[in-house]
Amino acid sequence: MENKLHFYNTLTRKVEQFVPNEDGKVAMYTCGPTVYHFAHIGNLRSYIMEDLLEKTLRYLGYDVKRVMNITDVGHLSSDADTGEDKMVAGAKREHKTVMEIAKFYTDAFFADCAKLNIKTPDVVEPATNCIDDFIRVITRLMETGYAYESGGNIYFDTSKLKEYYVFSSQSEKELLVGVRDDVEEDENKRNKSDFVLWFTKSKFEDQELKWESPWGMGYPGWHIECSCISMKHLGEYMDIHCGGVDNIFPHHTNEIAQSEAYLGHKWCNYWLHVHHLNDRSGKMSKSKGGILTVTTLEEKGYDPMVYRLFCLQSHYRKPLEFSYDILDNMSAAYDKLVKRIGSLNREGSVDRAVFDEYRTRFEDALCDDLNSAMALTVLYDMLKADTDDATKFALAEDFDRVLSLNLTSERAADAGSGVDAALEQYIAEKIEERKAAKKEKDFARADAIRNELLERGIVLEDTREGVKWKKA
């Protein structure tokens, strides 16, 4: 099939044409959440943009198999294999077992994803399901000399590789900028960049989950899980691997090192990384605390779709700064958009030529390094176009297969159906009049306007994002 999609491949540092290993088929892997806490809206930015990628591929006609892990063991507080297992720390914090918090936060993660219309990957596999796979791969790495035992742990020996820093020609120091949290040194390592494949003795005291292995009771390192889970379900060759930019080093660098050492050939051709959502103090992170969740946004009166729109309005390769002011603007824009589409008369036939023209423009925007903001512009242009409602509605429905903003759902239909443009205009004027009355402290007039609208079947609601209306 025609491979129209182009995106930035972190491995080659270029926007490249995407050509899968097998024509028409895509093997895709996403690093899943570490389930010791709620996902914050920064994590969810990554999952929204990865969802956009998956849906774009499907929209273009690819048969996608997407796999995601759930990290429920082995992810330590520092990416340099030191500190406490995040899951153990989470269990202590909540006086629960590791498995209890893993279940609770895995469910919470998928509930958040559902609210944001993020499709569940075809395969979701917790790391604790795959201990035998980890042991098998590590055993082979020991046999082939890529791994060694030191201080009771098993390490990957990065000096055995021709090239370890595959993602960049930059220095190690520059790469460390992307490293998450604090970094401490581990004296058991032969080389500074070596990493743990299997823990036995170190940091073991409180480890609740441990398994028998040829090297003693222990538990796996974080990086090995993604290599093994992806190979288990996608085989020896993968097309796209994604994650947030903080995963580039060391997590993805180490995944490539161990996978290619194990397989003896190139493993994954394309790597896509989503840039961070920041708040005023920098990168939003679970370990920093005080995180924003989807529930926080809902409690403040925002529809989760507003956050999805906020993410789609910006490019995945740029850092995005969160602010309530921008979210308020998005909320107003979202309401307007949904009402506009809801007011379209769906009866009648679709003009195929117009449909195809806009579909091509929409596809072109997505194929240009997933330019979601441009794809939204195509949607707005289409709604303004001089064509019939039925075609516009069909296009909005079609675009929403990728955008997933509930543009034509029941909610959208409710918001607009039965309210003609004249009434909509009248409501808008009355809302402005009421705002002016309130400003002048003429509350009797403000109440009279509210009642007047109520008599016409329209209910006003004062929210923190301004006045909204719905049918009674």
Q: Please give the residue ranges that form the binding site for Zn ion (CB under 5 A).
A: 31, 226
* Partner in contact with 254, chosen from ligand AMP, Zn ion, none, beta carbon below 5 to 8 Å by kind: none
Q: Is 69 near ligand AMP (CB under 6 A)?
A: no
Closest to Zn ion by CB, 35 vs 226, is: 226
372 closest CA partner among 248, 274, 247 = 274
Piece of the chain touching ligand AMP by CB under 6 A; list 28-36, 196-204, 231-239, 323-331: 28-36
We find the least distance from the C-beta atom of residue 352 to ligand AMP, in angstroms, to be 40
Question: Restricting to residues 228-247, which ones interact with ligand AMP according to CB under 6 A?
Answer: 243-244, 246-247
Closest to ligand AMP by CB, 109 vs 267, is: 109
CA distance 228 to 117: 28
CA distance 450 to 74: 58
Buried b (16+ CB within 10 A) or exposed e, 9-31: bbbeeeebebebeeeeebbbbbb
* Partner in contact with 178, chosen from ligand AMP, Zn ion, none, beta carbon below 5 to 8 Å by kind: none
We find the least distance from the C-beta atom of residue 165 to ligand AMP, in angstroms, to be 19
Q: Is 284 near ligand AMP (CB under 6 A)?
A: yes
Question: Restricting to residues 428-447, which ones interact with ligand AMP according to CB under 6 A?
Answer: none
Piece of the chain touching ligand AMP by CB under 6 A; list 7-15, 29-37, 377-385, 392-400: 29-37
Q: Is 33 near ligand AMP (CB under 6 A)?
A: yes
Piece of the chain touching ligand AMP by CB under 6 A; list 30-38, 198-206, 233-241, 345-353: 30-38
Closest to ligand AMP by CB, 33 vs 342, is: 33
When binding is defined by CB under 6 A, the residue of 46, 227, 258, 408 that contacts ligand AMP is 46
- For residue 224, the tally of other CB atoms under 10 A from its CB is 29
We find the least distance from the C-beta atom of residue 290 to ligand AMP, in angstroms, to be 13
> H helices within 95-215, ranges in order?
98-115, 131-143, 172-175
CA distance 217 to 152: 10
Closest to ligand AMP by CB, 226 vs 407, is: 226
> Could you report how far apart the first and last alpha carbons of the chain are, in Å?
50
When binding is defined by CB under 6 A, the residue of 11, 18, 45, 303 that contacts ligand AMP is 45
Closest to ligand AMP by CB, 41 vs 354, is: 41
Q: Is 309 near ligand AMP (CB under 6 A)?
A: no
When binding is defined by CB under 6 A, the residue of 27, 31, 87, 338 that contacts ligand AMP is 31
When binding is defined by CB under 6 A, the residue of 5, 26, 29, 34 that contacts ligand AMP is 34
- Tell me the two tokens of residue 179: 């490293």
Name the DSSP class of 39. P
Strands (E) in 200-340, as ranges, are 219-220, 238-244, 268-274, 277-279, 282-283, 320-321
Instruction: Please state, in angstroms and as integers, the Cα–Cα distance from residue 405 to each residue in 31, 198, 328, following that order.
Output: 24, 43, 17
We find the least distance from the C-beta atom of residue 251 to Zn ion, in angstroms, to be 5
* Partner in contact with 43, chosen from Zn ion, ligand AMP, none, beta carbon below 5 to 8 Å by kind: ligand AMP
C-beta separation of 293 from 40 below 8 A: yes
In terms of DSSP bridges, do strands 458-463 and 466-471 run parallel, antiparallel, or are they unpaired?
Answer: antiparallel
CA distance 157 to 164: 10
We find the least distance from the C-beta atom of residue 167 to Zn ion, in angstroms, to be 14
Closest to ligand AMP by CB, 3 vs 106, is: 106
CA distance 22 to 343: 43
Instruction: Please state, in angstroms and as integers, the Cα–Cα distance from residue 42 to each residue in 321, 380, 422, following that order.
Output: 10, 27, 41
- 3-class SS of residue 117: coil
* Partner in contact with 226, chosen from ligand AMP, Zn ion, none, beta carbon below 5 to 8 Å by kind: Zn ion
Name the DSSP class of 169. S
Q: Is 314 near ligand AMP (CB under 6 A)?
A: no
Report CA 40 to chain centroid distance, whole Å.
11
**Enclosing H/E stretch for 7:** strand 6-9
Closest to ligand AMP by CB, 112 vs 465, is: 112
Q: Is 277 near ligand AMP (CB under 6 A)?
A: yes
- Cα angle at 286 between 283 and 287, to 5 degrees? 95
Closest to ligand AMP by CB, 127 vs 274, is: 274
Q: Is 449 near ligand AMP (CB under 6 A)?
A: no
- Hey, what's the torsion of the CAs at 227, 126, 200, 214, to 10 degrees? -70
Residues that bind ligand AMP (CB under 6 A): 31, 33-34, 42-43, 45-46, 71, 243-244, 246-247, 274, 276-277, 283-286
